[in-house]
Structure 1
């Protein structure tokens, strides 16, 4: 009987139709069509004509999320999350500034679902004109160092920053600022990279703004000096090594100064030598003022020191310098002394040294470096007394003329080495 039923084409078609309907009802009962609402879908901004330099930009939106309702099969909707939905408003950069009510558009994740609801379906968007502005960059330094350090104005690798953004927000920017806390751990760093903050006219940091800042960080070089207290000292020219403190003494005022030395250049420091006192130029008890030329600034701005000289019971006397010696004689040249020889040299020393002085070690040395043939020059004579307790009391000079060795000369004896002068060989003469 069943075979006779299916032998009829019409009956077979009817059976297939009924079977399909029953199957459709069965599947529908297992996976019914339904609606589902996805909450908190973020609303994006799509900008049209964004290439315009003086266009507009969004500075505020009435709502930043929307709730989206989709219709579809229960199994399909169950696989969709709020992150799969794309909600957006379209902003035309060529429009003017102001408040606009714009519709919220939804991009479906699948074609098999239908958008049946949006809440809200439109939002208020505030637009402002895009502008540009250059603002100064300043550093805010918190000093965590002790009193022995002096913190100066740090050096920044940029002085200004270019900003781009809404005109009303840019108008409220006072400066760009970097903040650093200086301690012994970072005070000597060559550079410190710091994030830039925008500061408004009231001095507060600007948060949640729409300003574009190409340089998010700048480099800062700390300027930190350490206060180093150093004693002062001086050098002395023409001071015999054999003079004791009772023969010659000195004091300096101020005795110490405070130098501001960059921490990157700190090293072991001894006494600070500020200059030289020539005892030939200052032969008497008295005060000598010296400029304080130092490699680093002096705290307090002092620029001079005073040296008090105290000579003991020293005796002065004269001795005839019998000959001159020459250093650095140019090759092929001879020297003719035009000054009268011998030369009386005024010296001084301790009483015992003066009584015992024989003059055997007395030398006068002239440096001929750089002279040429035919040149006449007046040159200083360096006096060597030959006694550690006796020193010169005057600066001497002689006049010489240079000649070629082979050239004939008249009126003087030519020598290429030492020159002996005609003088008596005895005796010291007490100076008045």
Structure 2
């Protein structure tokens, strides 16, 4: 009984001691109330002065709006302990900025509680960016990616959207040059119509442009891509007999032999068995020398070459058992068709013209080049003084049996001068000379034109 009483008294003493301690602490705190610090994290920073900045300069806040800081307050323990986060205001003033740029501006902190002051702010400055917000239109480009099913090719993509409007800071906006929509046609064998594609902005260097501050009014566009079945069509030419050659005597090689073509109407392709490049006159062709002939110009309406296919073909004619010999012809026969004698002198500037002979090797060796000449017909009065290009006609005399001349267009350059001007110059030179010795005037190498003809 006595033990229980003592235990009970001991417990009451402990309770009393604790209560006295609390009372004593409260009394001390109420009397002394010492200073202390209190930290507040994630205090939002409010940007002020934006409307004044825009009104004065046209600049707007681009970056720095969602920033927080840590604030440490100092004051009497009781006062600091009563501060709530909502009573702390952190601000950055941008009203004094004058040009588009990035800035580190100081943070100002105020507390709606007396007896409390700011100990420190971390960070003490906030990074902001200001710029003019503008808009512009950029062209839309559609790219086809991937490879369709075997035997099919993708045609040129189309879209009704030719441009999109993008907005954002002027500095970023200046880097945007186009909007690109990519269409993947991997494995397809049918056309795409009004296929919805997302557009990506690209800069002037062809790289995708990313910015958190650039927006496009149009994020997706509709694109159509035709998918064509490919046909492999052989190339042909028509050979015209001439120059002692017939098409049965020659070999014709066309490079390439075939081309891949497509058409929007498959029925059109079904009717095409070959693509004829045109006619080759065997009388004027140079054997062994490739002739470039257009493929593109010979395609039927509605048919086009597959991308990457050549637009021209090289056609080479060769002859078995018939040799060729190339000679330089420097003999010219001229004929001035002017109706009266003219005061002009004509000088032939072309020294020689290469011509090709065809026949057996033994007969070609017998050809005398002196029996070959080029006839020139012109009207010096119509042409007048100066340099001119006139047509020439090859003439032959006494060619050996079986030897023929390959027909071709011949052009010769001539120069027409006024004889009277030249004579006056020579007379003036003689009159002005003080030398007593005889002066000899050389005969000009050119011929003086007159009605009729001559040779050189």
> TM-score, with normalisation over the residues of structure 1?
0.39
**Structure number having the greater helix percentage:** 2
TM normalised by structure 2 equals 0.37
